[in-house]
Amino acid sequence: MIKLNENYLKLQDSYLFSTIAKKVSEFQEKNPNKRVIKLGIGDVTLPIAPTIIENIKKSADEMSKKETFKGYGPEQGYDFLREKIVQFDYKTRKIEIEKDEIFVSDGAKCDTANIQELFSVDNIVAITDPVYPVYLDTNVMAGRSGNFNKETGKFDKIVYMKVCAENDFKPEIPKEKVDLIYLCFPNNPTGTVLNKIELKKWVDYAKENKAIILFDSAYEGFIVEDNVPHSIYEIEGAKEVAIEFRSFSKTAGFTGLRCAYTVVPKELKIDGISLNKLWNRRQTTKFNGVSYIIQKAAEAVYTEEGQKQIKQNIEYYRENARIIREGLISAGYTVYGGVNAPYIWLKVPNNMKSWEFFDELLSKANVVGTPGSGFGPSGEGYFRLTAFGNREDTIEAIQRIKKLK
């Protein structure tokens, strides 16, 4: 008889965003005249830069003519885009990455989710707590999690690396030996970063313990401080132990267009077997490439105009982040992140729980954010606001929050 993959039954329902939506709609029903401002969602709001749109139109036109029509493209991505990535994202930072170490995809979400297929189910996985939930859930689906403990809110085979104000949101090397380590910096949800020395500790650990780091740098475009690495390959030796995930979603507003890439260096081997070869095998088997039009859109990101335009958008969000951060600090809140990232992580005042603060903010200030406990047990007592809203709403939301105090 057919049997289910019972690991799926272990997944904890994510009530986070549906509960938020339900609470907001109930509030609006009762208070139709109140204007609710949403600073909760991690999605961009500014339109795609004009140069990128031009390239989309041009490449759509190419599809309309027999001579320039394109069917299936290379599963790994077109050379024109992989070459730009090598040149602009790595060579300019003095990092040697080869074109065939780049795998273009339709999202860092699916890449960070799919990559674990390359590793045995016996491996021990380390994630931060709080965390971007994809890393956890995909390992649960694969059978690496053990059982869920309702009391702790944790799976018993996953190693949770608590990040909180007490350790400055820097995960500590676990006491137990781990094999696969997910690191996301700049971090979602805390908005915090690691500097080069802090990241080097992880590279050294991975080398000594034959572990692999899965480094998600989807928010790399928001980094402004010099000592914060844009790529894990800025750390010597990282090519032997790390896979890097990048995305055009937050850096160029591609959340609706869908384009990202993953770097699997050729030096990365387990028992002499190349992970680059295995990932290539996986992608060519299960994936048929990102559309030509969208890869052309991504190529436009690397033109002079494209760079200028996407930086203007990032600057807009960064200014929102500054307004939120400084406004909250001046109102007496303790605030983290928001400097090299579009996320502001605040300590909930008066020992309230994250959801209590959510309710208070919604009912009294009519502002929506995301309760930290939704990202893991150690997110309890924290709250996430995002800088992706529009300027006027961001300013007004902060004015309203200030009045609360």
Residues 6 or more apart in contact with residue 42 via CB below 8 angstroms: 188, 342, 343, 386, 388
Residue with Cβ nearer ligand PLP (112 or 394): 112
Of 114, 82, 104, whose CA–CA distance to 290 is shortest?
A: 104
| C-alpha to C-alpha distance for 247 and 261, rounded to whole angstroms | 6
Shortest Cβ 319–ligand PLP spacing (Å)? 20
**Which position among 37, 40, 42, 77 is part of the footprint of ligand PLP (CB under 6 A)?**
42
Q: For the CB of residue 343, give the shortest distance to ligand PLP in the complex, in Å.
A: 9
Return the residue of 119, 132, 182, 279 that touches ligand PLP, per CB under 6 A.
132
Measured from the CB of residue 134, what is the shortest distance to ligand PLP in angstroms?
Answer: 7
Beta bridge partners of 382: 347
Q: Where are the beta strands (DSSP E) in 248-348?
A: 260-263, 269-270, 273-274, 335-337, 343-347
Q: Which is nearer to ligand PLP, 75 or 106 (CB)?
A: 106
Closest residue to ligand PLP: CB criterion = 107
Q: Residue 176 Cβ, how far from ligand PLP at the closest point, in Å?
A: 25
Q: Tokens 């500014």 identify what position?
A: 46
249 binds ligand PLP (CB under 6 A): yes
Q: With respect to ligand PLP, which residue has the nearer C-beta, 107 or 221?
A: 107
298 binds ligand PLP (CB under 6 A): no
The amino acid present at 313, given as its one-letter code, is: N
Told to check if 262 binds ligand PLP by CB under 6 A, we report no
Exposure of 243 by Cβ count < 10 A (0-12 exposed, 13-18 middle, 19+ buried)?
Answer: buried
| Count of residues that bind ligand PLP according to CB under 6 A | 14
CB of 385: closest distance to ligand PLP in angstroms?
15
Contacting ligand PLP (CB under 6 A), which of 82, 109, 144, 296?
109
Which pair of structure tokens corresponds to residue 151?
A: 């009391």
Number of H helices, E strands in the chain: 13, 17
Residue 108 binding ligand PLP, by CB under 6 A: yes
143: CB partners within 8 A, 6+ apart: 7, 121
Query: What span, in angstroms and rounded, lies between the C-alpha atoms of 237 and 309?
Result: 34
Residue type, 145: S
Report whether 38 contacts 389 (CB < 8 A).
yes
Q: How far is the CB of 108 from ligand PLP (least distance, A)?
A: 4
Residue carrying structure tokens 């170490």:
101
Q: Which two tokens stand for residue 221?
A: 């475009």
Residues 155-194 as x/- pattern, contact with ligand PLP by CB under 6 A: -----------------------------x---x------
129 near ligand PLP, rule: CB under 6 A = no
User: For ligand PLP, which residue of 86, 180, 257, 260 counts as binding (CB under 6 A)?
Assistant: 260
3-class DSSP assignment, residue 238: helix
Task: Tell me the closest approach of the beta carbon of residue 310 to ligand PLP, in angstroms.
Answer: 15
List 126's β-bridge partners, or say none. Answer: 159, 181
Interacting positions 78-107 with ligand PLP (CB under 6 A) = 107
| Smallest distance from ligand PLP to CB 111, Å | 8
Stretch in the footprint of ligand PLP (CB under 6 A) among 28-36, 117-125, 247-255, 273-281: 247-255
- The alpha helices in 42-132, defined as continuous H runs, are 50-63, 79-84, 108-114
Q: How many CB atoms lie within 10 A of CB 276?
A: 19
Residue in 145, 247, 262, 309 binding ligand PLP, rule: CB under 6 A: 247
Q: Which residues form the interface with ligand PLP (CB under 6 A)? A: 42, 107-109, 112, 132, 184, 188, 216, 218, 247, 249, 255, 260
